[in-house]
Amino acid sequence: MHGFICAISLEEEILPLNFEWKVPFDFQGKMIKREIRGKNYQIEQYTSEKFIEEKLWIDNDTFLFIVEGLIVNIDQLKIDFSAKNATELIQKLYTAEKQFFKHFEGNFSGLFYHKKDKIWYTFNNQSGTKRIFYFCNSKRIVVGNDLFTLVKALKTLNESISLNEQAAYLLLTSSIVFENMTLVNEVKKLQAGEYLEISNNRIHTDYYFNLANISKVDATQKSMIENLNFRFNEAIILQHEIDLKYDFNHLTTLSGGLDSRMELFSAKEMGYSQQIAFNFSKKGYADQLISKQIAEKYDIPLLQFSLSPDMMLPVDDIIAVNDGLISYTNCCHVFSILNQLKDQRFGAIHTGIMGDTVMGSSVNDDARIKKRLYSVNTVFPDQINYIDNLIAKYKNAELCLIYNLIFFGESNGFVNFDLMGETLSPFLNTSFLSYAYSIPNELKFNRKLYIEWIKTCRPGVAGFVWETIAGKPTNNQFLRQFYRYKRAVIKRLPIETRWKDNMSPEKTWYDQNQFVREKLDQYFFNNVSRISNSKLSEDVIALYNNEDFNVKARCITLVGAIKLLFD
């Protein structure tokens, strides 16, 4: 939501710009603004004071280098490259190879300019959890972390902008804007592990990290488990030492799933004892109960936040966090509890985000993957053709799913948690992520190897019910499949049970809560006139009237995003 922005003039000296940032929420901590101006460029960063020493801000005669986010291995890199400080490290890394940022680990994005070579680089991290947007024409280039701020800068510069209708239909049919698109035709986004190079008044994008380049490993199951465990432990160390450096507690999500408890158990077993866990779900739902059982058994302080239907109402605030590029209900549950975390003394927010994907949930047949990429009942032939062509661009359908729906979609949790701190997940450590992807699909299907790893190295994790199947992961695969089937049946029965809902039951609340339903309907119909294209407007209204709330929420997001970006 905040971060850095850089405007570069390609023709003449740049005139001073007043960048417009979103107003911080009341629960956010102190913000800091800093600026660099050159003859033909202007850079500004508006960022949280937390971890400010880690957000490198270097400007000397040779280069400038700016970081938004948290690079957790900077201290180790100083040792590895015999550098006395960060400035010397960056100089050595750049001298060795231009895409030096491939050495970084963490939740980061950055901007680099070598003043002698006259070359710029901007980049996000390997999984794209810190976003980079960019605009380019023959006169100027503008790059930054926040789409709203970048769009406002373009308006100040008298640049025209327009709605990207393909992106709008993707939001409606898939809940997420895919590839390098945004809702603004003239503005693109970098994908995970991608960088933008600017030299000789030209731009070039390429990947410095791409899972497509990783070959499948040929090894025994025992060796695979040992490799996974070693790399996971190394990631835990990197991500928790940064808290200790600043005397922070470790704040960790805890749910009924496997991923968050893997992160929490591993860290605690490795000696990171100052843990505070937090859970958020509907009151009485299994996710809440399982988390409480885990915390009590292992004497971990637990903050529990109950979700309620009114979390769906601050539509404009939630859309502002992710610029309307993802359906707003994907993270309204996270946004609703942030205010309650503000009094905790913590550094990073530790999560298991994307663990399930990394360890196998993305492995499926092409038809099921396509159904995840196109998730409405209404048939839009052009959009279905787009999805077919999109899948064809990738080595396999799984990679298409990971790079479009997973990396960008699930990073929405990062974007929201980053309002309070810097979010980390050991499953996204480059070494772990790469090795996990290299495991043959037949071992990842239905999390087969994931469960064996847990049973072998973290048996405590397996001792509690797994919310996804309503059974323990220690059961054999036939029992696990039975539990999945049993839970699916229970969810369809007209009875009250802790397995009835899910972590964020927005559809149920919309259907059953008249006040919430009327407020959201009112928001939609008050703003749908902002869509100027008559065909798109007709389709949006038809979807809102005929589809379930999951799709209605996408329609609400689209009109709210147009309000945010184009007003």
Which tokens belong to 508? 């149920």
Out of 198-202, 351-355, 499-503, 521-525, least confident range: 499-503
Rounded to 5°, the CA angle 418-419-424 comes to 15
Q: Which residues pair with 513 in a beta bridge?
A: none
What per-residue confidence (pLDDT) applies to 477?
A: 63
What per-residue confidence (pLDDT) applies to 475?
A: 64
Q: Taking 70 as the threshold, does the pLDDT of residue 497 lie above it?
A: no
CB of 503 within 8 A of CB of 468? no
Which stretches of 404-553 are assigned E, i.e. beta strand?
422-424
What per-residue confidence (pLDDT) applies to 502?
A: 52
What per-residue confidence (pLDDT) applies to 283?
A: 81
Q: Taking 60 as the threshold, does the pLDDT of residue 408 lie above it?
A: yes
Note the pTM of the prediction, 2 decimals.
Answer: 0.94
Euclidean distance between the first and final Cα of the chain, in Å?
Answer: 18
Q: Taking 50 as the threshold, does the pLDDT of residue 335 lie above it?
A: yes
Q: Taking 60 as the threshold, does the pLDDT of residue 541 lie above it?
A: yes
Average pLDDT score over residue span 199-207: 95
Q: How far apart are CA 211 and CA 394, in angstroms?
A: 11
Q: Taking 70 as the threshold, does the pLDDT of residue 501 lie above it?
A: no
CB of 76 within 8 A of CB of 429? no
Average pLDDT score over residue span 193-205: 96
**Over the Cα atoms of the chain, what is R_g?**
23
Number of H helices, E strands in the chain: 24, 17
DSSP per-residue letters across 149-212: HHHHHHHHTT----B-HHHHHHHHHHSB--TT--SBTT-EEPPTTEEEEEETTEEEEEESS-GG
CB of 478 within 8 A of CB of 468? no
Among 38, 41, 66, residue whose Cα is nearest residue 52? 66
- Sign (positive or negative) of CA dihedral 490, 494, 497, 499: positive
What per-residue confidence (pLDDT) applies to 481?
A: 59
Q: How far apart are CA 210 and CA 403, in angstroms?
A: 9
Among 341, 283, 336, 285, residue whose Cα is nearest residue 311? 336
Span 140-170, pLDDT tens digits = 999 999 999 999 999 999 999 999 999 999 9
Span 128-141, pLDDT tens digits = 999 999 999 999 99
What per-residue confidence (pLDDT) applies to 488?
A: 52
Rounded mean pLDDT of the chain?
93
Rounded to 5°, the CA angle 221-224-229 comes to 125
CA atoms within 13 A on the CB side of 112: 22
CA atoms within 13 A on the CB side of 335: 24
Span 6-61, pLDDT tens digits = 999 998 888 889 999 999 999 998 999 999 999 999 999 999 999 999 999 999 99
CB of 340 within 8 A of CB of 419? no
What per-residue confidence (pLDDT) applies to 499?
A: 44
What per-residue confidence (pLDDT) applies to 472?
A: 84
Q: Taking 60 as the threshold, does the pLDDT of residue 504 lie above it?
A: no
What per-residue confidence (pLDDT) applies to 168?
A: 98
- Sign (positive or negative) of CA dihedral 490, 493, 496, 502: positive
Among 489, 445, 436, 499, residue whose Cα is nearest residue 468? 499
**Coil, strand or helix at 57:** strand
Average pLDDT score over residue span 214-235: 97
Question: Confidence class of residue 345 from pLDDT cuts 50, 70 and 90?
Answer: confident
DSSP per-residue letters across 175-187: SB--TT--SBTT-
Q: Taking 60 as the threshold, does the pLDDT of residue 484 lie above it?
A: no
Which tokens belong to 455? 């049973």
Question: Confidence class of residue 490 from pLDDT cuts 50, 70 and 90?
Answer: very low
What per-residue confidence (pLDDT) applies to 453?
A: 96
Q: How far apart are CA 215 and CA 536, in angstroms?
A: 42
Among 287, 271, 8, residue whose Cα is nearest residue 122? 8
Average pLDDT score over residue span 524-543: 98
Q: How far apart are CA 538 and CA 396, in angstroms?
A: 35
Span 450-461, pLDDT tens digits = 999 999 999 988
Share of the chain above pLDDT 70, in %: 95
Span 226-243, pLDDT tens digits = 999 999 999 999 999 999
The one-letter amino acid at 250: H
Of all helices (H) and strands (E), which one includes residue 63?
strand 63-71
Question: Confidence class of residue 495 from pLDDT cuts 50, 70 and 90?
Answer: very low
The one-letter amino acid at 174: S
CB of 399 within 8 A of CB of 407? no
Cα dihedral 316→110→414→224 (10° resolution): 160
